[in-house]
Structure 1
């Protein structure tokens, strides 16, 4: 089923998905390699399918992802995740599931360390991202 998304809706989806990766990268600057985190997460997002994949593939500027702190970025990204899930769930629950799984795959790819477990900082950020996705 094709869903109808406004430009604002598409911006919300992109802010949420790429923002989750940006948030992890900013948190990872404390704990590891922010460039590796951003690269792995972005590559995972580029493999999205369905209408979500088409929206994420659009090349447009995403506002509010250049915050001066992790908290400032989170203030925009976490509500965007919840909003994205709400608007997709209302129109097409299957596409909402697609978005959720796409973001979680990107998060998993981003936080996967070369060896060992993700740091407690990264694990907590993943928990916050997942909670925002599930709050809708």
Structure 2
């Protein structure tokens, strides 16, 4: 099955996943949109499996900056990269699960309010690039 993740490693995975959704929300801001986007993304996160599900659905939520999209991105993109490294080392079979969950959550967040804007599509492309995922999310 692989090795257990530490609390810090789980928080890294959460920071990446929840932060990716925040990055998408920040790309096309609006208070009402934020609630719809967060709700839509939560379904993808809840649908995770294996160690990814355990990491994303247990324990405290990550503390993410709210003031600056650049600040969010500078925290989230390295967390996504590190999350892939952690999983590749400890539970390699869950790497595609993490990629798929993060991309599905980001996509659902983008589609939740008036479809995917060009700014949201650009953010999703950056997330996909960091995750090393091809166009299908694998």
Unmatched runs of 5 consecutive residues or more in structure 2: 134-138
1:50, CA displacement in angstroms?
Answer: 0.9
How high is the TM-score relative to the length of structure 1?
0.87
1:43, CA displacement in angstroms?
Answer: 2.3
- Partners of 1:126 and 1:61 lie apart in 2 by 22
Structure 1 residue 66 and structure 2 residue 65: aligned?
yes
Task: Please give the per-residue CA displacement for 1:25-48, whole angstroms capped at 9, x wherever unaligned.
Answer: 122206x82221121112211121
RMSD of aligned residue pairs (Cα, Å): 1.9
- Partners of 1:120 and 1:5 lie apart in 2 by 36
Q: 1:112 to 1:61 in 2, by over 3 A?
A: closer
Q: 1:99 to 1:86 in 2, by over 3 A?
A: same
- Partners of 1:36 and 1:92 lie apart in 2 by 32
Pairing 1:101-112 to 2, within 5 Å after superposition: 101-112=100-111
Task: Please give the per-residue CA displacement for 1:48-103, whole angstroms capped at 9, x wherever unaligned.
Answer: 1111101111130312x133111110010011000000111122221111111111
1:113, CA displacement in angstroms?
Answer: 5.0
1:123, CA displacement in angstroms?
Answer: 0.5
How high is the TM-score relative to the length of structure 2?
0.86
Segments ≥4 residues shifted beyond 2 Å? none
Pairing 1:40-59 to 2, within 5 Å after superposition: 40-59=40-59
Q: Which residue of 2 aligns with 1:8?
A: 8
Unmatched runs of 5 consecutive residues or more in structure 1: none
Q: Which residue of 1 aligns with 2:87?
A: 88
